[in-house]
Amino acid sequence: VFSLRGGILKIGIIGTGYVGLTTAVCFAEFGHEVMCSDKDEKKLKLLKKCKSPIYEPKLENLLHKNFERLKFTSKNKEVVDFADAIFICVGTPEKNGKPDLSQVEEAAREIALSLKNDYKLIIEKSTVPVNTYQWVKKTLKRYSKSSINFDVASNPEFLREGSAIDDFMNPDRIIVGVENKKAEKILRKIYKPLIKKGVPFLVTDPATAEIIKHASNSFLAMKISYINMVANLCEKLGVDVTTVAKGMGYDPRIGDKFLNAGIGYGGSCFPKDVRTFIKIAEEHGINFSLLRETEKINKAQRKRFIEKVENVLWINKNKNIAIWGLSFKPGTDDIRDAPSIDIVSELSKQGANLRLYDPKAMENFKKIFPESENIKYCNDKYEALKNADALLILTEWDEFKNPNFNKMKKLMRLPIIIDGRNIYELDEIEEGFEYYSVGRRAVK
C-alpha cells in the first residue's frame, strides 16, 4: 500500500479538538506527514502560529517539535487531496438525549465531494453509535461525484483529557475495526511505532470496534457510580471508603483504578457515552437498567454534595463560598458536563456569594457564568478564600493537595472545608478545621 519513504504516511485529520489535535501531533511525532482541518477559524489561527487552542499537558511541546510535518487548513477538500488515510475526529455531542451525528455526516459529505478514484481509507475516530460506519459508507457513495475507491474503518480513541499525549503514546490497546486486509495493513503502518513497542493491536469488524468504545466507557462510569454508592453507605457507618476501595483494589479482578469516591463523573465523554449506550440497547429491545442506575447515581451524587453544603452551613443564602476547581477533572480546561456547573448553578440560585478559582478552566467557565455581583473569579487559590464561610473542592488539581492550612485559616471567616474529591487524608487536617468529604467521617 502507499507510503512515503520509511513507512511514513500522509494522514488527514478532520477536527482539531482534544482528540483530533492530540492524534495529529502524535502521528507527526511518529514521522507521518499530517494535514488537519477545522471549521473554527479561531482555532486555525492559533494553530498556524504553532499555538494550541486547548490546554493539554505536553501538547504544545509536540506541536512545536513536529510543526514542519503539520499543516492546518479550513478546507476539507485540501485534506482529502493530500492524505491517503483520513481520520474523522469531529464532535459527537448530545442533542435532546440522542447523539448528534451531524458533524460526522457533514465531514463524510465533505470528504465525498472531494473523493476521486485514487484509494482513500476513511477512519472514524469520533465515538459513534454502532453501525455508524454503514452510514458513513453510504454517505461517501451517495455524495461522491465520480467512481470512487475507498474503505471505511473504525478506530475508537481511549485517551483521557489531562493525560492525552501520554495516553496516545502509551495506550493499553489499539482497536481497529476493518472490513478487509488492505485497511488493516494501512492502520498497522500508521501505528507501527506503538505496535513495535508491544501495544496490543486488536483487529475486529467495524461494528465490534464501535461497540468496544461504548462498552468500555460505560463500564468505567459504572465503576465510579458503584464506589459512590459504597461511599454513601460508608459515610453513614463512619467507615472510610478510601480504605474500602484500597482493600477492594488489591483484587486484580476489580483493580485499583477508578475507585475514587466523590461527586461523580463529568466531561464530554462518560455522561453522553453512557446515555448513548442505553439508547442503542433500547433501540435493539434491550433494557440496560444497570446503566440507567449508573447515570441516576451519578446525578444524585452532585445533589448529595449540595445537600451536604446545606447541612454544614444551614443556610447558603448570603454565605461566602470559595470554590477550588471547575474543570471536570484535573489537567484540563474542559468543563463540559462538569459537576461544578450544577453545583455553582444551584448555589448561586440559593443566593450564595461565590469566589471561584481553577488553574486552567476559568475562561471556559466564564462563558457559562459571567462574572457578576455574586460570582467572582480569583487569580489564585488563596484569594478565593478571603472571608469565606466554607471552601468547596470540586476538582483534584495537584496544587490543592498541599496547601498552607495556616494561611487558609487566617483568610477564611470560618475554617470549613467540604471536599468533593477526598484529596486530604483525614489525619492531615489541621486542628481547628472542620472537614467534610465523601464516604468518610467528618473531622470537627
How many residues bind to ligand NAD according to rule CB under 6 A?
28
Say which residue the cell 455531542 belongs to: 93
CA dihedral 238, 240, 244, 245 (to 10 degrees): 140
Detail the residues annotated as belonging to a binding site: 38, 43, 92, 127, 158-161, 213, 258-262, 266, 272, 329, 336
Nearest approach in angstroms of CB 7 to ligand NAD is 26
Contact flag: residue 15 with ligand NAD (CB under 6 A): yes
Detail the residues annotated as belonging to a binding site for NAD(+): 38, 43, 92, 127, 161, 272, 336
Residue 268 phi/psi, 5-degree rounding, is -90, -5
Say which residue the cell 457507618 belongs to: 237
Residue 442: which residues within 8 A CB-CB, separation 6 or more? 434, 435, 436
Which of 52, 66, 103, 298 is the binder for ligand NAD (CB under 6 A)?
103
C-alpha grid cell, residue 290: 444497570
Segment lying near ligand NAD (by CB under 6 A), choices 31-39, 61-69, 111-119, 299-307: 31-39
Nearest approach in angstroms of CB 351 to ligand NAD is 34
Among 26, 89, 234, 269, which one carries the catalytic annotation? 269
Q: How far is CA 38 from the centre of its chain?
A: 19
The H or E element that residue 272 is part of is helix 270-283
Cβ(437)–Cβ(231) under 8 Å? Answer: no
Binding letters toward ligand NAD, positions 141-170, x by CB under 6 A: ----------------x-x-x---------
Amino acid found at 250: Y
Which of 11, 13, 18, 298 is the binder for ligand NAD (CB under 6 A)?
18
Which of 40, 94, 179, 256 is the binder for ligand NAD (CB under 6 A)?
40
Which of 44, 269, 335, 356 is the binder for ligand NAD (CB under 6 A)?
269
C-alpha grid cell, residue 21: 489535535
Cβ(286)–Cβ(323) under 8 Å? Answer: no
Paired sense of beta strands 33-37 and 10-14, if any: parallel
Residue of minimal CB distance from ligand NAD? 17
Contact flag: residue 359 with ligand NAD (CB under 6 A): no
Nearest approach in angstroms of CB 213 to ligand NAD is 7
Residue 236: which residues within 8 A CB-CB, separation 6 or more? none
Which of 9, 14, 352, 362 is the binder for ligand NAD (CB under 6 A)?
14
CA dihedral 124, 129, 131, 132 (to 10 degrees): -50
Report the residue number, 235 or 334, with the smaller CB distance to ligand NAD: 334
Three-state SS at 139: helix
50 catalytic? Reply is: no
Rg of the chain taking only CA atoms, in angstroms: 24
Report the residue number, 43 or 120, with the smaller CB distance to ligand NAD: 43
Nearest approach in angstroms of CB 41 to ligand NAD is 10
Contact flag: residue 81 with ligand NAD (CB under 6 A): no
CA 107 vs CA 140, 318, 327, 344: distances in Å: 10, 49, 29, 36
Residue 66: which residues within 8 A CB-CB, separation 6 or more? 25, 28, 29
Report the residue number, 50 or 315, with the smaller CB distance to ligand NAD: 50
Contact flag: residue 37 with ligand NAD (CB under 6 A): yes
Cβ(357)–Cβ(378) under 8 Å? Answer: yes
Nearest approach in angstroms of CB 88 to ligand NAD is 9
Segment lying near ligand NAD (by CB under 6 A), choices 84-92, 188-196, 248-256, 384-392: 84-92
Annotated catalytic residues are 269
Residues in touch with ligand NAD (CB under 6 A)? 14-20, 37-40, 43, 76, 89-92, 103, 106-107, 110, 126-127, 157, 159, 161, 268-269
